[in-house]
Amino acid sequence: MVLSMKEALGMEKELSCASDSPLLDTEMILSFVMRQKREYVRAHDEIRLSPMQESSFRNLFERRKLGEPVAYILGRCFFWDFELVVNSSVLIPRPETEQLVEFAIELARKNNRRTCIADLGTGSGVIAIALAKAVKDSVVHAVDISEDALAVARLNANNLNLKNIKFHKGSWCSGLPEKRFDLIVANPPYIKNGDDHLLKRELSYEPMNSLVSGDLGYSALNTIIDQSPNFLRKDAWLLLEHGYNQQEKILDRLKTKGYSSLSGHQDLSGVDRVVIARWQK
């Protein structure tokens, strides 16, 4: 006989090796297959799956058991109050990126003209989209080197009906149009080649060029710091997300390169995560 939703949910134990949140993952996969909200699945767990639903559930559940992230399995994820399409061409947006976005919104709202923002390494478009939604009169230029990532970002912006984002293919600031920006934001790759974190099974599903940046993990961050002065207006801001142990070195480099009003910030878990710097020349 086919599975009931209760029996399907009971399979969560099989995920305990692959996931820190086995029940949540099982509920998400089941509600996706049943095309119902998680609350419905929980409240009506006596309902039986159809043979096709069971086969689809088992298939997706097996992928999760092998370590594939739920967001890739379902092809979507949430950030703040919006949903994004994701696939293996883009990094799955992380909750810690909310910190960078919040600072950027605060600075953009203080700006007394139409804010011109650059998002370097846009991936799924998450940062560009969050800013374009929150700062209505802004225009956001989103750059990525990967055409496949840009296709996902464009789709996400279209799905959310956002007209104030322009997408560009290119490498960091060289992908930007010849103009000056009020804010440049970036969450670039910052893990060093061969780092132990890369051995985590879930990371092996994400694109390497979203994660790794040179032998020390600083290549992309340094390039962005060095290129940005040619694209920032006087008194404009650069905001960078970075790895847990990189803040001191990044602040040093920003200082050496002539930025001012430097500050380092932690994410919601108390980990050093964001630097903010002003270009006043």
- Smallest gap, in angstroms, from Cβ of residue 4 to ligand SAM? 37
- Smallest gap, in angstroms, from Cβ of residue 214 to ligand SAM? 11
x-or-dash string of contact with ligand SAM, 195-224, rule CB under 6 A: --------------xx--------------
Is there a contact between 97 and 128 (Cβ–Cβ < 8 Å)? no
Is there a contact between 190 and 213 (Cβ–Cβ < 8 Å)? yes
Nearest to 76 by CA among 90, 65, 66: 90
CA dihedral (171, 190, 242, 251) in degrees, to 10, reads -80
Q: Is 272 in the site for ligand SAM (CB under 6 A)?
A: no
Q: Is 127 in the site for ligand SAM (CB under 6 A)?
A: yes
Q: Kindly report the length of the chain.
A: 281
Tell me which of 22, 69, 123, 243 binds ligand SAM, using CB under 6 A. 123
How many CA atoms does the CB half-sphere of 144 hold within 13 Å? 27
- Smallest gap, in angstroms, from Cβ of residue 49 to ligand SAM? 34
Q: Return d(Cα 34, Cα 266) in angstroms, integer.
A: 39
- Smallest gap, in angstroms, from Cβ of residue 77 to ligand SAM? 10
Q: Return d(Cα 110, Cα 223) in angstroms, integer.
A: 27
CA dihedral (230, 233, 235, 239) in degrees, to 10, reads -60
- Smallest gap, in angstroms, from Cβ of residue 164 to ligand SAM? 17
Q: Return d(Cα 252, Cα 257) in angstroms, integer.
A: 9
Tell me which of 22, 69, 121, 243 binds ligand SAM, using CB under 6 A. 121
Tell me which of 47, 145, 155, 216 binds ligand SAM, using CB under 6 A. 145
Tell me which of 19, 53, 97, 247 binds ligand SAM, using CB under 6 A. 97
Tell me which of 30, 149, 274, 277 binds ligand SAM, using CB under 6 A. 149
- Smallest gap, in angstroms, from Cβ of residue 12 to ligand SAM? 28
Instruction: Specify whether the backbone of 124 is left (phi greater than 0), alpha (psi in -120 to 50) or beta.
Output: alpha
| Segment contacting ligand SAM by CB under 6 A, of 23-31, 88-96, 251-259, 270-278 | 88-96
**Signed CA dihedral, 192, 262, 121, 177: sign only:** negative
If the CB atoms of residues 120 and 165 are measured against ligand SAM, the closer one turns out to be 120
If the CB atoms of residues 91 and 184 are measured against ligand SAM, the closer one turns out to be 91
**Which parts of this chain interact with ligand SAM (CB under 6 A)?**
90-91, 93, 97, 120-124, 126-127, 143-146, 149, 171-172, 187-189, 209-210
